[in-house]
Amino acid sequence: MKNNIKKIAVLTSGGDAPGMNAAIRSVVRSCAFYKIECVGVYRGYQGMIEGDFKQMDARSVGNIINKGGTILKSARSDEFRTKEGRLKAFHQLKMEGVDAFVVIGGDGSFTGAMIFNEEYDFPVIGIPGTIDNDIYGTNYTLGYDTALNTVVEVIDKIRDTASSHNRLFFVEVMGRDVGHIALNAGVGAGAEEILIPEENIGVDRLIESLRKSKKSGKSSSIVVIAEGDKTGKNVFELAEYVEEHFPFYEVRVSVLGHMQRGGSPSCFDRVLASRMGVKAVETLLEGKSNLMVGVTDNKMLLTELDKAIKGKSKINKELLRVSDIMTI
């Protein structure tokens, strides 16, 4: 491997996601394996600006592979959005003797990394860590699989009460711009209808579909809604509207919120994080930069940060058809 890299920094930035700790562990241990130094940066880019660094070695990341959240803490830093802020961060990295960094986060964190790379020609690699799975260049982001499992587990519980009381439940899940969580968890939990930002089925079709379900003998139903669905009504307004049309049902709303981000990462996320961390360090050691590590068709692939940020991650439309067939 050809490079001048002797010390790599690792940070988590933006919203936390299960699997971030497993990725930190992987970056730190890969550095140890290749006999280069590694420092953890606390509180994302804000910690970088303030020089909040901690030397890490293979032993300092013991017993974290199974932990949710991020031991390095995450933060949003407005100061890093300014030239002055990034200059401070650059000075701190130089003072610490850091030659490159790996940032684990979403598209905002990658934008910051890309701008920093442009300004200081500083080697950077991104690892996609966000439960929304909304990053182009990877089939899966860290935390997405765990979030799906969390949502399915909760909907299973909601189903118990729904079926005991002839209730119609609206379950809102995360996904402002993309419906990956709603679509996959909806199919996995056997939801009657799934509302996602990518497809506006319209309120009338929802009513029609629920009417059909009722006619076919169902006494309870679950509708999964992504935060960013396009019906034009929020989940409470939607529930009220539907209740007017279905006096038979008691309509209830459950907004899952931040619980979707928590919990111990699934095996899938731990394995993915381990692979991404190794690939991130090896990519830097090969002298490459400004790339995001991703997994496509089970292969570790690299995508330019610019493309990862600008590209659109697409939902699997086949799942909409599967959902339709399953809810006959």
Choice from 13, 70, 117, 290 touching ligand ATP (CB under 6 A): 13
Whether 132 is a known active-site residue: answer: yes
How many chain residues interact with ligand ATP (CB under 6 A)?
17
CB of 97 vs ligand ATP, minimal distance in Å: 23
Element (DSSP H or E) covering residue 124: strand 124-128
Choice from 112, 126, 137, 294 touching ligand ATP (CB under 6 A): 112
Q: Which is nearer to ligand ATP, 14 or 68 (CB)?
A: 14
Find the helix packing angle between 180-188 and 318-326, rounded to 10°.
Answer: 30
When asked if residue 130 is in the footprint of ligand ATP (CB under 6 A), the reply is yes
Q: Which is nearer to ligand ATP, 141 or 327 (CB)?
A: 141
3-class state of residue 18 by DSSP: coil
What six digits make up the tokens of 166?
A: 């002839």
The alpha-helical segments, DSSP class H, found in the chain are: 20-33, 44-50, 83-96, 107-120, 144-164, 180-188, 203-215, 235-245, 267-285, 305-310, 318-326
When asked if residue 47 is in the footprint of ligand ATP (CB under 6 A), the reply is no
**β-strand 291-296 against 124-128: which pairing, if any?**
parallel
Choice from 45, 53, 140, 170 touching ligand ATP (CB under 6 A): 45
Is residue 20 within 8 A of residue 264, CB to CB? The reply is: no
Q: Which is nearer to ligand ATP, 111 or 327 (CB)?
A: 111
When asked if residue 111 is in the footprint of ligand ATP (CB under 6 A), the reply is yes
Residue 81 DSSP code: G
What six digits make up the tokens of 107?
A: 């598209």
Q: Which is nearer to ligand ATP, 43 or 270 (CB)?
A: 43
CB of 179 vs ligand ATP, minimal distance in Å: 15
Determine the Cα–Cα distance for residues 211 and 3; give it in Å rounded to an integer: 64
- Among residues 138, 140, 98, the alpha carbon closest in space to that of 120 is found at 98
Q: Which of residues 91-110 bind ligand ATP (CB under 6 A)?
A: 105-109
- Among residues 84, 75, 78, 131, the alpha carbon closest in space to that of 103 is found at 75
The catalytic position among 52, 99, 107, 132 is: 132
Dihedral class, residue 232 (left if φ above 0, else alpha if ψ from -120 to 50, else beta): left
Choice from 12, 21, 26, 77 touching ligand ATP (CB under 6 A): 77
Determine the Cα–Cα distance for residues 129 and 20; give it in Å rounded to an integer: 7
Which among 20-28, 77-85, 302-310, 317-325 is the span making contact with ligand ATP, rule CB under 6 A?
77-85
Determine the Cα–Cα distance for residues 251 and 126; give it in Å rounded to an integer: 43
When asked if residue 80 is in the footprint of ligand ATP (CB under 6 A), the reply is yes
When asked if residue 81 is in the footprint of ligand ATP (CB under 6 A), the reply is yes
Q: How many residues are listed for the chain in this entry?
A: 328
Residue nearest to ligand ATP (CB): 108
When asked if residue 76 is in the footprint of ligand ATP (CB under 6 A), the reply is yes
Q: Which is nearer to ligand ATP, 134 or 198 (CB)?
A: 134
Q: Which is nearer to ligand ATP, 22 or 178 (CB)?
A: 178
3-class state of residue 107 by DSSP: helix
Residues with a known catalytic role: 132
Residues contributing to the site for ligand ATP (CB under 6 A): 13-15, 45, 76-77, 80-81, 105-109, 111-112, 115, 130
